[in-house]
Amino acid sequence: MIQPASAEQAALLADLHARSFDKGWSANDVSELMENPAVFAVVSQEHDTLHGFALAWVAAGDSELLTVAIVPEARRRGLAVELVEATAARAVARGAASMHLEVAENNAAARALYEKLGFAQTGRRPGYYATANGFVDAITMRLALV
């Protein structure tokens, strides 16, 4: 089930993020983001277990998908699609006409997901993501919501 997340869940969201990425966000990072009234998050929860979340912001008719995190054991079940779609719907409800994002060039699964959902590449940010093996470009993508 997809439902809104609250700032009180920052530590849980940080744990999910750390389990989903090589370089996870801290509870303080998540908490600071969620203190901003333009930022919102949704979680995928099954019974009492959180499997992932998406975090975004909306301002001046635009939105940005900041992260989608799915723990490894819950991947390939359609949760990321549900989270992105729920985030997009909430962004529209907050007045967004478009959504953009950045994704690591070498993250083929995420890029395929975003393309499947209608996002189109709009640019590139060279050396945007630091990895254990150096830097990876970010691909910028955009989706018209309305």
Nearest Cα residue to 113 out of 77, 89, 59, 146: 77
Q: pLDDT tens digits, residue range 61-105?
A: 999 999 999 999 899 899 999 999 999 999 999 999 999 999 999
Q: Is 102 considered catalytic here?
A: yes
Question: Domain residue spans in the chain?
Answer: 2-144
Q: Is 128 considered catalytic here?
A: no
Q: From the candidates 8, 46, 102, 129, give the one annotated as an active-site residue.
A: 102
pTM of the model: 0.93
Structurally, what CATH architecture does the domain formed by 2-144 represent? 3-Layer(aba) Sandwich (3.40)
Contacts of 75 (CB under 8 A, 6+ apart): none
> HSE of 116 in the Cβ direction (CA atoms, 13 Å)?
12
Q: From the candidates 64, 85, 114, 129, give the one annotated as an active-site residue.
A: 114
Taking only Cα atoms into account, the Rg of the chain, rounded to an integer number of angstroms, comes to: 14
pLDDT at 14 over 90: yes
* Mean pLDDT of the chain, nearest integer: 95
